[in-house]
Structure 1
Amino acid sequence: PFSRIRILKRLSRRPMSVKELAHAATIDAPAATVAVNDLEDRGLVVREIDPANRRCKIVSLTEQGYAVVRKIDAIDDPAPDVFAALGDAELKQLQEILRKLRA
């Protein structure tokens, strides 16, 4: 599911707690826990005790998880045809808007 891909992509940037991951993936904490359980069962992530806070667990990608992210990144994902209606200046403006939203 796309929600799992989104979580894998977020974790490829850095390990996170489930709470941080839920926020980064814009899902609620219970959904993040279900997703992490699924990804852990598939061998794509691992949970480890946070050395800074032993009550918290940090989720990180396994080597297999990084391999899946590399496969995802290698897929050509062209823009929908509707974007062909935009000129170069409009596309640059859209890129800037999207860059701000990601930040």
Structure 2
Amino acid sequence: MPDDPTPDDVWRLLTHVVMDTRDSWKRAVTERTGLPFSRIRVLRRLAAGPLTVKDLAHAAAMDAPAATVAVNDLEERGLVVREIDPGNRRSKLVSLTAAGREMLGYAFATPDPAPATLSGLDPADLRSLRDLLRKIEH
């Protein structure tokens, strides 16, 4: 049927809706923390555990020089630390400090109200959307 969407069609729509409504929240996080949002992305990737700068760059979708600049900045602020990788003494791992974890929690505590279009849905539509999203949640 011509009106049957593909998974790619639905994904494009879903990401479009989310990405187009996140700018105000990102600005609020930046204002609240005093950090560029790219630094918050780096902190978030490190929340799961230490990474090399190369792996961090890949995880944060940035090139290695940009990741190095971000790590240097975050290290100067006391939010991350570099330590020798016990599995490869020629490599260093970057990990969050206690202050880094606290900053990440502070950043993600920034209010993030639903966009008006979502707030305008009736309760049955909201339940349906929630239930569908739970089905695809990892």
Report the residue type matching 1:7 in the other structure: V
The verdict on how the C-alpha distance between 1:95 and 1:27 changes in structure 2, with shifts beyond 3 A counting, is farther
The answer for unaligned runs of 5 or more in structure 1 is none
**C-alpha distance in 1 between matches for 2:109 and 2:130:** 23
Give the superposition deviation at 1:73. Answer: 2.4
Name the count of aligned residue pairs: 99
RMSD of the alignment, in Å? 1.8
Query: Which structure has the greater CA radius of gyration?
Result: 2
Match of 2:55 among 10, 15, 20: 20
What's 2:92 paired with? 57
Aligned counterpart for 2:69 among listed residues 16, 31, 34: 34
Give the TM-score, by structure 2 length.
Answer: 0.63
Q: Distance in 1 between matches of 2:135 and 2:57?
A: 25
Distance (Å, rounded) in 1 between the aligned partners of 2:81 and 2:65: 17
Gaps spanning 5+ residues in structure 2: where?
A: 1-35
C-alpha spacing 1:94/1:83, structure 2 compared with 1 (3 Å): farther
Distance 2:52 2:94 in 1: 6
Question: Hey, which of these two has a bigger chunk of strand by percent?
Answer: 1
Q: Share of identical aligned residues, percent?
A: 58
User: How far off is 1:92 after superposition?
Assistant: 4.1
Assess, with a 3 A threshold, how the Cα gap between structure 1 residues 41 and 75 changes in structure 2: closer, same or farther. same
Q: 1:31 to 1:96 in 2, by over 3 A?
A: farther
Q: Would the alpha carbon gap of residues 96 and 16 (structure 1) be closer, same or farther in structure 2, given more than 3 Å must change?
A: farther
**Normalising to structure 1: TM-score of the pair?**
0.82
Deviations 1:10-43 (A, max 9, x none): 1112111111111111111111111000000111
| Aligned mates of 2:65, 2:44 — CA distance in 1 | 19
**1:79 is matched with which residue: 93, 100, 114?**
114
